Structure 1
Amino acid sequence: MDRNNETSVLRFILLGLSECQDLQPLIFLGLLAVYLVNVVSNSLLLAVVWFDAQFSSPMYFLLGQLALVDMSFATITVPQALVHALTQHRDIPFTSCMAQMFLFLAAGNMESYLLAIMAYDRYVAICHPLHYTTVVTQPLCLKMVGASWVVVSLHALLHTVLASQIHYCSNHLGHFFCDLPPLFRLSCTQPFLNEMVAFTEGPLEILSPLAFILTSYARIGATMFHLRSTSGLCKALSTCGSHLMVVILFYGTVVWLYFRPSSSYDLARDQQVALFYTVVAPALNPLIYSLRNKEVPADSLCGTFSQLQDQSSLSEHQDLQLLIFLGLLVIYLVNEFNNSLLLAMVWFDAKLRGLVYFLLGQLALVDTSFATIMVPQALVHPLTQCRNIPFTSCMTQMFLYLTVGAMESYLWAIMAYDCYVAICHPLHYTTVVTWPLYLKMVGASWVFISLHSLMHTILAARLHYCGNHIGHFFCELPPLLHLSCTQNFLNEMMAFIEGSVVFPSPLAFTLTSYGCIANAMFCLLSTSYLHKALSTCGSNLTMVTLFYGTMAWLYFHPSSNYDLGHGQQVALSYNVVAPALNPIIYSLMNKKVMAALKRAVRKILTKGT
């Protein structure tokens, strides 16, 4: 671009998440809901850590720091985005833009350093438990956290100063907050110095804590290998699994967003990635980190997943029933709204008649059913003292739950096959992927998993139970097996043998499809082809990992090892939270679905006026 076209930029205009005015109320409500969940959940965790004397150990100090960073992470960007969604004035002064970027980079990098310190804490606790209290001390944690703040502040300051020196040819910033990639896009010339620093100092800054995390977990893995203790392995996995999951999500989005040339910047994709790791992920962190910790829920945070004496309840604490009711209701309504909207668009919009949208509609239907099978009952129980359920109703609920849950894995396998054909054999897509084929695949999946669910339901119905107090908020296999009077050998044998066929089969099919896609990308060695494939398949792979990770944790271990609190948390995650996120992850990243959503909103507003 010609340097004569340079302008003296005093204010930037943030274009926001969408330029469509009809979508602004929807964007506002969605952002507000997630932001409130973020602030409330992290504030609650922060208050517990700061004011409860039982949580004064270094581990909880780090959890408190993480909650503070997560809350700040969203607060730096979301309130401004909420205002812009409701007003026509979307400008921000140049100095405010630079200040926002500095705070955003500092808070974002601080999260990676906190994850590294927490990995070290887990390493010492598992590999050197007898020396934990002498090695991991409060002064050491204070020094590490303080030094991290200094390092990330200098890093953020460096990039902010360099960004402020760029000559900008436009002030229309294609984002909902000030960030490096969209600012580079406005540069009159290639920002060589900025990108060189981003590719040299940036990886050192961000990947150093990642290397520390991987080293810590490598040492933990080596220790577990030498001990060869099943109980120790299960304890280590349950302690570290959630941390590793968040690390993968955090670093995956950061690497995708920052470590590539500004010429490959894509507004829509990068906005969605930024929205995920700045708003959604920080809202989920308190659930992933702290509610999986036995001491936090049992003693203070929510009592939400403590051991039950009443059937089908999330907590025995009466004071928390209203909080549980409101939390479940909000997430359930978000689930139903998101999936019903997607389902309506797929069914009624003539431009969404393709086979891939048929699969998206099936996924939305399954996700809606998944939560509806058990959440309405769980909503009634917090408000009443009557928490019993007839035996036949319990068995029916379990049958429906197993069927719908397994169907989701088969739909992902079919979607992976669709992705494979579209990427590896695009010229043959219309002849290979046909309506009769997909109808047969979906129909056969429903029949197969119905037989699978029926078998496990019949086996569970034949058990002799020594109690009728189910330690869960709905009827499911692990808590039912836990009530058996005798060792339920046949049930567990079938769960390990037949279950190991029903669930890993679609996973193996999914992995094979993506293996073929990866091989095709490796052979072509095309950057544009690689970006297209990753953007198409990334969301599916993310949800497949979360789904199978939680399923494996919950089902593939003996009932004697069943843990009430962890089982409830995992079930709540993949029954309610994940189905609510699926429409966002799968469909809102699709341009055709976004266009259909805009058309639907315009029709509603037109009829209203």
Structure 2
Amino acid sequence: MIAVNLSAVSEFHLLGFSEVSHLHPLLFVVFFSLYILTLMSNIVIVLTINGDNTLHTPMYFFLTQLSCLDICYLSVIVPKILENLVVGTVSISKAGCALQMFFFLFFGVAECFLLAAMSLDRCVAICYPLHYTVTMNSRVCKSLVAGAYICGSAVGLVHTSITFSLPFCGLAISHFFCEIQPLLELLCGNTSPSEIQVIVVAVFAIVGPFLVIIYSYTCIISTIIKMSSAESQQKAFSTCSSHLLVVTLFYGTASSMYLRPKSSYAVSGDKLLSLSYTVVTPLLNPIIYSLRNEEVKRALRKRWRKINSVWK
């Protein structure tokens, strides 16, 4: 490949799913359906929580933030996937690629820390119920959310500014959006410093929050075991196991992508990994965290009855 000075280049080319071009119509239907379903479910959750005074508690405040993050996170990536499936190889400007990387990292890392904050909230609620209202007051909740957004913006700025300040030896990105690992493949010369930077930041942004979640749920499970009611234990274990399943999928696949050297990058396999934390997890979040929750379902039924009464 001939080295190309990025400052002289106006655009990159996203190859997307070019290796399975015969499946593009089917994939378009699948991704478009998932996108609309995820958007609708998250919007319904936000409107339901904001419109019901009984749900104005720390847990539902975090759930609202999670739904908003998922909407933004998905909207950064899926439109380009859909465009790629319709027209084939997609061109994206240098600035557009940098912005897409920044916002993907911003929303993704913010979600990592938000999920950790949500686990801490549940830990305090279950393990220290008498101190819950004092410990998880409005100021603390808003600070945790602000901290998640600050961490997301910091990681996004660091990765984006460093990556796009380096010279590239190619313009064809073997991926469906401007993610770090595929872009490292295009960098000229020794990329070891960039790879180390990615791994170090991933330890902070992915492993750190995940350890907080594991610690929180260890405390929660320890408290659940001490419960006298078998029914309460079963209900709590069901909730915890579903939460842990989603966070393990999200953190596990993200770790598999970012906590390894560029030499182990495999185009087809890593596209599937990326899909799991960019498309699948935002769809599962509202189902696991909200739509399986009795209070949310009760609020949804109340809202539905109100809408029906207006139309009758």
Is this a same-fold pair by TM over 0.5?
Answer: yes
Match of 1:6 in 2: 3
CA-atom RMSD, angstroms? 2.1
- Give how far 1:88 is off: 4.7
Alignment of 1:45-84 (within 5 A): 45-84=45-84
1:243 matches 2:243: yes
SS at match of 1:168: coil
- Give how far 1:228 is off: 5.6
Distance 1:47 1:151, change over 3 A: same
SS at match of 1:76: helix
Instruction: In structure 2, give the amino acid aligned to 1:83.
Output: E
SS at match of 2:184: helix
1:260 and 1:190 map into 2 onto residues whose CA distance is 16
SS at match of 1:170: coil
Alignment of 1:94-493 (within 5 A): 94-227=94-227, 229-300=229-300
SS at match of 1:91: strand
Match of 1:23 in 2: 23
Instruction: In structure 2, give the amino acid aligned to 1:269.
Output: G
The 8 Å contact of residues 66 and 111 in structure 1, kept in 2 or not, is answered as yes
1:54 and 1:226 map into 2 onto residues whose CA distance is 29
Instruction: In structure 2, give the amino acid aligned to 1:214.
Output: I
- Give how far 1:276 is off: 2.0
SS at match of 2:109: helix
Instruction: In structure 2, give the amino acid aligned to 1:7.
Output: V
1:206 and 1:318 map into 2 onto residues whose CA distance is 42
- Give how far 1:235 is off: 3.8
Cα deviation 1:386-440 (Å, max 9, x = unaligned) = xxxxxxxxxxxxxxxxxxxxxxxxxxxxxxxxxxxxxxxxxxxxxxxxxxxxxxx
1:56 and 1:269 map into 2 onto residues whose CA distance is 42
SS at match of 1:300: helix
- Give how far 1:301 is off: 6.2
- Give how far 1:205 is off: 2.2
TM-score by length of 1: 0.48
The 8 Å contact of residues 126 and 236 in structure 1, kept in 2 or not, is answered as no
Cα deviation 1:175-214 (Å, max 9, x = unaligned) = 0100001001111223111111122232022211111111
SS at match of 2:67: helix
The 8 Å contact of residues 221 and 237 in structure 2, kept in 1 or not, is answered as no
1:186 and 1:243 map into 2 onto residues whose CA distance is 37
The 8 Å contact of residues 15 and 172 in structure 2, kept in 1 or not, is answered as yes
The 8 Å contact of residues 112 and 205 in structure 2, kept in 1 or not, is answered as no
Which segments of 5 or more consecutive residues in structure 1 lack a partner in the other structure?
305-316, 321-609
- Give how far 1:297 is off: 0.5
- Give how far 1:143 is off: 0.7
Instruction: In structure 2, give the amino acid aligned to 1:37.
Output: L
- Give how far 1:286 is off: 0.8
The 8 Å contact of residues 44 and 301 in structure 1, kept in 2 or not, is answered as no
Structure with the greater alpha carbon radius of gyration: 1
Cα deviation 1:194-241 (Å, max 9, x = unaligned) = 111122232022211111111112222333344565344224313322
The 8 Å contact of residues 249 and 276 in structure 2, kept in 1 or not, is answered as no
- Give how far 1:103 is off: 0.5
Instruction: In structure 2, give the amino acid aligned to 1:99.
Output: L
Which stretch shows the higher mean deviation, 216-225 or 37-46?
Answer: 216-225
Cα deviation 1:254-294 (Å, max 9, x = unaligned) = 01111111111111111111112211221121111111111
2:88 and 2:208 map into 1 onto residues whose CA distance is 42
- Give how far 1:319 is off: 7.2
The 8 Å contact of residues 246 and 284 in structure 2, kept in 1 or not, is answered as no
SS at match of 1:244: helix
1:81 and 1:227 map into 2 onto residues whose CA distance is 48
The 8 Å contact of residues 76 and 104 in structure 1, kept in 2 or not, is answered as yes
When the two structures are aligned, how many residues end up with a matched partner? Answer: 305
Distance 1:228 1:198, change over 3 A: farther
Cα deviation 1:111-143 (Å, max 9, x = unaligned) = 111111111111111111122112111221101
Instruction: In structure 1, give the amino acid aligned to 2:172.
Output: H
- Give how far 1:94 is off: 1.0
SS at match of 2:12: strand
Distance 1:231 1:303, change over 3 A: farther
Instruction: In structure 2, give the amino acid aligned to 1:273.
Output: L
The 8 Å contact of residues 52 and 299 in structure 2, kept in 1 or not, is answered as no
Distance 1:50 1:89, change over 3 A: same
The 8 Å contact of residues 39 and 71 in structure 1, kept in 2 or not, is answered as yes
The 8 Å contact of residues 15 and 175 in structure 2, kept in 1 or not, is answered as yes
Alignment of 1:576-595 (within 5 A): none
SS at match of 1:92: strand
Match of 1:314 in 2: none
SS at match of 2:18: coil
Distance 1:118 1:82, change over 3 A: same
Match of 1:508 in 2: none
Instruction: In structure 1, give the amino acid aligned to 2:222.
Output: A
1:15 and 1:80 map into 2 onto residues whose CA distance is 11
TM-score by length of 2: 0.91
Which one has more relative contact order, counting CA pairs under 8 Å at least 6 apart?
2
